[in-house]
Amino acid sequence: MPTAKIDSLDHEGRGVTRVDGKAVFIEGALPGERVEYVVRRAKPSYEQGETVRVLRPSAQRVAPRCPHYGVCGGCSMQHLDADAQAAVKQRILEDALRHIGKLRAGRILAAIHGPAWGYRYRARLGVRMVRSKGGLRVGFHERRSSYLVDMHTCLVLPPAISALLPRLRALLAGLSIADRLPQVEIAVGEGSTVFVFRNLLPFSAADEEQLAAFADAEGIQAWIQPAGPDSARPLHPADAQAPFYTLPEFGLRLDFRPTDFTQVNVDINRLLIRRSMQLLDPQPGERIADLFCGLGNFSLPIARLGAEVVGVEGSEVLVERAHANAARNGLAGRCEFHAANLFETTEDSLAALGRLDKLLIDPPREGAIAVVKAIDPSRAPSRIVYVSCNPATLARDAAVLVHEKGYRLAAAGIANMFPQTSHVESVALFEREPEGRTGQA
Active site residues: 389
Tell me if 218 is assigned to a ligand binding site.
no
Contact 74, 80 (CB under 8 A): no
Determine how many CB atoms are found less than 10 A away from the CB of residue 278.
Answer: 12
Tell me if 308 is assigned to a ligand binding site.
no
Residue positions counted in the chain: 441
Tell me if 72 is assigned to a ligand binding site.
yes
Tell me if 75 is assigned to a ligand binding site.
yes
Handedness of CA 394, 425, 89, 406 (dihedral sign): positive
197's enclosing H/E stretch is strand 193-198
Contact 397, 373 (CB under 8 A): no
Question: Can you tell me the distance from the alpha carbon of 329 to that of 324, in angstroms, rounded to the nearest whole number?
Answer: 9
Tell me if 390 is assigned to a ligand binding site.
no
Contact 25, 49 (CB under 8 A): yes
Cα atoms in the Cβ-side hemisphere of radius 13 Å centred on 35: 30
Q: How many helices (H) and strands (E) does the chain have?
A: 10, 22
Contact 392, 351 (CB under 8 A): no
**Three-state secondary-structure class, residue 278:** helix
Tell me if 325 is assigned to a ligand binding site.
no
User: Rg of the chain's alpha carbons, rounded to an integer?
Assistant: 23
Tell me if 199 is assigned to a ligand binding site.
no
Tell me if 293 is assigned to a ligand binding site.
no
Question: Can you tell me the distance from the alpha carbon of 438 to that of 408, in angstroms, rounded to the nearest whole number?
Answer: 8
* Residues tagged in the binding site annotation: 66, 72, 75, 154, 263, 292, 297, 313, 341, 362
* Residues tagged in the binding site annotation for S-adenosyl-L-methionine: 263, 292, 297, 313, 341, 362
